[in-house]
Amino acid sequence: MKKILFFCAALLLSAAFVAAQTEPAHIGRVKGTSGMVSIQRAGALKPAFPNMKVYLNDTLLTGSDGAVGILLEDNTLLSMGPMSRLALDKFDFSPAQNKYALQLRMEQGTFVYLSGLLGKLAPHAVSLDTPSGTISMLKDTNFMARFGGDE
C-alpha cells in the first residue's frame, strides 16, 4: 500500500513538473502583423502571425516593411513600426499575490505603448530600458517612442 501511495505521489509530482516544464504560461499574444515580423525565442527566429502566443524572454523584430501589435495578459497594448526590436524581459501580473512587474527593452525602432492593468495598479513596477536610458512610470501613462539603436 505504501509503495502504491509513493508511486502515485511520484507520478503526480512528475506530472506537475512536466506541465511546468513544457507549458510555461504565455504573457501575451500577437494580435496583428504586416510585412516581415519575427520572434526570437531560445536562439531561434520564427515568423510571427496573429494569435501566436508570446513568452517571457522573447524578442520581437520587424523588417523594413514590418509592423506588429501585441496584447499582454494585463491588457498592455504594444505596437511597433518597421526596423524595430523589443525584448520582453520581465512580466508578472498576479493581483491575488500582489505581485507586479513589467520590464521591456526597446532596443531600436518606433513604439506605441498603451498602459494596461499593470500600469494602472502598479505604475512603479513598470520600467523600460532604451538606448537613451531607463523610462520609469510615475503614474498610469501612455507614450510613443523612437530609438535609432546603439551605434
- Site residues for other proteins per CB under 8 A: 29, 31-34, 50-51, 67-71, 75, 77, 79-82, 84, 110-112, 114-115, 119, 123, 130-148, 150-151
Q: Which is nearer to other proteins, 11 or 63 (CB)?
A: 63
Least Å distance, CB 128 to other proteins, is: 9
Asked whether the CA dihedral 107, 121, 71, 138 is positive or negative, the reply is negative
Least separation in angstroms between residue 75's CB and other proteins is 6
CB 40 within 8 A of CB 58: yes
Q: Of 107, 102, 36, give the one whose Cα is nearest residue 74.
A: 102
Nearer to other proteins, 1 or 96 (CB): 96
CB of 106 to other proteins, least distance (A): 10
CB nearer to other proteins: pick between 24 and 50: 50
The distance of closest approach from Cβ of residue 117 to other proteins in the complex, given in angstroms and rounded to an integer, is: 11
How does strand 77-80 pair with strand 67-72? antiparallel
DSSP run (H or E) holding 119:
helix 117-121
Q: Which residue has the cell 503526480?
A: 12
Q: What is the residue whose three cell numbers read 546603439?
A: 150
Instruction: Please state, as a whole number, how many other Cβ atoms lie within 10 Å of the Cβ of residue 70.
Output: 25
Q: Cβ closer to other proteins: 13 or 116?
A: 116
